[in-house]
Amino acid sequence: MSTYTGKEPSNINYTAVAEVTGGRNGHADSHEPDLSLDFDTPVAMGGKGQGTNPEQLFALGWGACFQSAMGMAGKELRVAATKLARSRVRTSISLGDEGESFGIKAKIEVSLPGVDKELAQRLVDRTQELCPYSKATAGNVPTEVLVVDSID
């Protein structure tokens, strides 16, 4: 059994559990609430691209977590909740060769209409410090975080 040490939460509020069979071309189930997905390797990697892939799930989860953490950062920096409600986050997870295996890198683009660029950058920087996904990947996953004018 492998155990990795690091900063642990002082209190566990929720634990997600997933069961996977068949890897990238398999199936996954999670419960409470029920979620059932078929996986398929992306076309760019030789698959049929007819199912979800792990990178999509990672991008969705990180993006949702990051945007929620912006709410915490926004309170600290006194950014109006109405302005945060108009924000958009696009998270890109890229998979590529890394030695004998594969590695990932991330790009997070944040659009904050009505927030000046300097404040937006401070907000995004603070969010990066608060977001659990960002903390978990810090120093392990090359991550570019950008404030952008819009996400089309």
**136 and 65 belong to one structural domain:** yes
pLDDT tens-digit series, residues 94-128? 999 999 999 999 999 999 999 999 999 999 999 99
**40 and 63 belong to one structural domain:** no
Backbone angles phi, psi at 95, to 5 degrees: -115, 130
pTM for this entry: 0.90
Residue 9: is the preceding peptide bond cis (ω within 30°)?
no
**129 and 83 belong to one structural domain:** yes
The answer to whether residue 119 is domain-embedded is yes
At a CB cut-off of 8 Å and minimum separation 6, what does 40 contact? 24, 25, 47, 48, 49, 50, 51, 52, 53
- At 30, which CATH number? 2.20.25.10
**75 and 37 belong to one structural domain:** no
> Which residue range forms the structural domain that includes residue 25?
13-52
The answer to whether residue 97 is domain-embedded is yes
pLDDT for the residue numbered 3: 59
Q: What is the mean pLDDT of each run of 10 residues along the chain (152 residues)?
A: 69 93 95 93 91 95 97 97 96 94 96 96 97 94 96 89
Domain boundary among 5, 34, 52: 52
pLDDT for the residue numbered 106: 97
